[in-house]
Structure 1
Amino acid sequence: MSLLYRKYRDSSIHPQKGVDEKINGVLTVSKDDQEHLKFPKWAPAWDSKDNHGFQNPRPFKFIDRGFYGDPSFESLRSIEGVVFKKISPNLGLEVNGIQLSSLSDKQKDDLALLVEQRGVVAFRNQDFKHQSFEEIKEWGSYFGPLHVHPTSGAPLDQPEFHLTFRRGSKKEHERFFNDRLNNVGWHTDVSYENQPPGITLFAMLQTGESGGDTQFIDTIEVYNRLSPLLKDKLDGLEVIHTSKDQAAAAREEGGIERKEPIDSIHPLVRYHPVLKKKSIFAHRGFSRRILGLKPEESDNLLLFLFKHTNSCLDAHVRLSWDENTVVIWDNRRVLHTRTLDWDSEDIRHAFRLTTLAERPVGSQKEYDNWSPELEEENLKVVDHYINLTPQEYFDEVLSKKL
């Protein structure tokens, strides 16, 4: 493994050896932690019956609800008492006065477009966590098929929910920083899926008075900052995204794998079909190598892009949490990172509902020409392309594009 990538470890989604335990035959957080949960039905569990109980999704035609949204957002702005507040000129929005659980289908279409245009939107004073599992899943399914995370904790018998659970422990804080200088890990969720997420909802269940903010960076602006020459050179390059490191970390901690690990090949420069804009689609979390380049070449180019992304704090927003906040973002457009800046005994407990979107493409033409049938054929050669030498990949793939 290249020194460019550090070992994957995330005890907020995986079980922790020596801390978590089996209760009624199911691995879950300890009885002591459960006693401190405000919403015990949302306790993360890693049920062995789900081990390899799911298949990686097959190609499907995605219908983006943002195409049906009204750019004036009249159905949302006309709600009595609603307040919209921009977090920065081009990225992020904070909304008060809208109850997400009560939106009509027309309002959901406007919501999809609003999230895509602003990148990330925080909704305050929400009742989402008081809805039933089935009500929340029905709400999310409007925006696309629900993702089942391969390794994270989920409420018992509810694998469509991805839980993050930061145990209230100073020892856990110390353990994390034993071999790290910081906790910053910019990523877009599960980009290793063949059709990664679009609209994503994250709802807080329990948190402390301060700390644990989530930060977001606009990858459209990250791309736009590059010179025309470099943009031209990056266009058409493809990157391997993998879930194998995450799966290995789950196994090491005694967790489960709901699905087989997967490698996918995605464009380095991604086209957003609703916004009709391009962005950088690579990050340290799951992006591993640019096809057609030698390891040193790939490492250095990716490292440059990662450093460039990290430096774009003028294309960045930081959202604070309370226990009634729901944040919705477009995983195609923004990267995010948690902020581990508290070492108190406060528990941070939240759930994510993730909807899958289109196959990443590099242009409008690719988007128009894509079909599930064509993608089925492309999937048959993923492993073949990954194992080609740079010369073989150039001769077989890149030379045909020149």
Structure 2
Amino acid sequence: MIEFKPMTRNIGAEVVGIDLRKPLAEEEVHTIRQGWLKHLVLFFRDQPIDDEEHAQFALRFGTLNIPAFNKDQNSPIHRLDQVDPKGEGGDEWHSDNTFEPEPPMGSLLRCLQLPSVGGDTMFANTYLAYETLSPPIQRLCDELTAIHDITNSMKKAISKGHKYDLAEMQAKWPPYERPVVRIHPETGRKALFVNRASTTRLVGLSDRENEALLPYLIDHIRSPEFQVRLRWQPGTLAFWDNRSTQHYAIADYTERRIMHRVTIAAFDEHKG
């Protein structure tokens, strides 16, 4: 029997009573999805699955998305093999790939190898980030849109030695305008949808207004009451809702850390 053990009051739960190496019944998929919508990020411990099983599990929840950063555009597996990740972009609060016209619905990250200490990941509830703003600021944000751009992320990756053609990536993924407040297509709840990795400016505001408001909104997600911290173990898989969370990979290690990630394409209301 599947059970959810909350890790904090506001976000995160460990899932017990499931073996991801085995095919899931429709009822089990439904139960996991409802728990995921409630807790926003789910943690599955002691799951010694391979890449194929990882991808097959993700497919039970939607179509797979191949991220812009994937070196192999024929594989849904994004391999993160890092020793010195500080400054690469994961160590700032973000939602995955919000520069895409249709950002991924969710991500499933699996731990293969860890440093002797460090390498935790933090997750934050962006529903609460919106709901704890004062009503006047909520009303302002409800009317605003923001530009999301791949450029900052690419520059950081290139500066760390990754081989990307900046102009080519900018042409493939031009800046995209989207609402500052996102309405979740399944729950109907509002979530704050700006992040430090990709959001570059608020549309229609002056430079001075942007300098005041955008950093405030981005930093607001840092409130500890919105957050949960995951200490990884090999065989741990985290499954988060990209529409209602942000995450932060803590770059406090200098030993090898290997993670594999699969992302799920934008929610299709006709299939969901």
Question: Aligning the two structures, in what range does the TM-score lie when normalised by the shorter sequence?
Answer: 0.7 to 0.9
Letter in 1 for 2:40: G
Aligned residue for 1:307, secondary structure, equals helix
Corresponding residue for residue 255 of structure 1: 163
Q: Deviations over 1:289-327 (max 9, x none)?
A: 1111112212321111122222x1011110110001011
Corresponding residue for residue 119 of structure 2: 212
One of 237, 259, 262 as aligned partner of 1:350: 259
Q: Where in structure 2 are the equivalents of 1:49-198 lying within 5 Å?
A: 79=1, 83-102=3-22, 103-129=24-50, 132-133=51-52, 135-153=53-71, 158-167=74-83, 172=84, 176=86, 184-198=91-105
| TM value normalised by structure 2 | 0.87
Q: For 1:244 and 1:302, locate their aligned partners in 2 and report how far apart those are by CA, in whole Å.
A: 18
Do residues 267 (structure 1) and 179 (structure 2) align? yes
Do residues 324 (structure 1) and 235 (structure 2) align? yes
| TM value normalised by structure 1 | 0.60
Do residues 203 (structure 1) and 110 (structure 2) align? yes
One of 200, 204, 208 as aligned partner of 1:296: 208
Cα distance, 1:183–1:203 mapped onto 2, change above 3 Å: closer
Q: For 2:133 and 2:18, locate their aligned partners in 1 and report how far apart those are by CA, in whole Å.
A: 37
Aligned residue for 1:352, secondary structure, equals strand
Letter in 1 for 2:163: G
Q: For 2:3 and 2:189, locate their aligned partners in 1 and report how far apart those are by CA, in whole Å.
A: 28
Q: Deviations over 1:150-180 (max 9, x none)?
A: 22455xx75311121112xxxx47xx47xx9
Residues 153 and 164 in structure 1, CA contact (< 8 A), matched pair in contact too: no
Q: For 1:209 and 1:254, locate their aligned partners in 2 and report how far apart those are by CA, in whole Å.
A: 25
Residues 160 and 353 in structure 1, CA contact (< 8 A), matched pair in contact too: yes
Q: Deviations over 1:174-233 (max 9, x none)?
A: xx47xx9x9840000001111111121100111134311100111111111111111111
Cα distance, 1:141–1:256 mapped onto 2, change above 3 Å: farther
Residues 199 and 330 in structure 1, CA contact (< 8 A), matched pair in contact too: yes
Do residues 241 (structure 1) and 148 (structure 2) align? yes
Structure with the larger strand share: 2
Cα distance, 1:183–1:263 mapped onto 2, change above 3 Å: closer
Cα distance, 1:213–1:250 mapped onto 2, change above 3 Å: closer
Over the aligned positions, Cα root-mean-square deviation in angstroms equals 2.7
Letter in 1 for 2:248: T
Structure with the larger helix share: 1
How many equivalent pairs are there? 264
Residues 111 and 259 in structure 2, CA contact (< 8 A), matched pair in contact too: yes
Aligned residue for 1:235, secondary structure, equals helix
Q: For 2:31 and 2:90, locate their aligned partners in 1 and report how far apart those are by CA, in whole Å.
A: 35
Q: Percent identity?
A: 28
Aligned residue for 1:285, secondary structure, equals coil
One of 108, 111, 133 as aligned partner of 1:226: 133
Bigger Rg over Cα:
1
Residues 99 and 127 in structure 1, CA contact (< 8 A), matched pair in contact too: no
Residues 162 and 353 in structure 1, CA contact (< 8 A), matched pair in contact too: yes
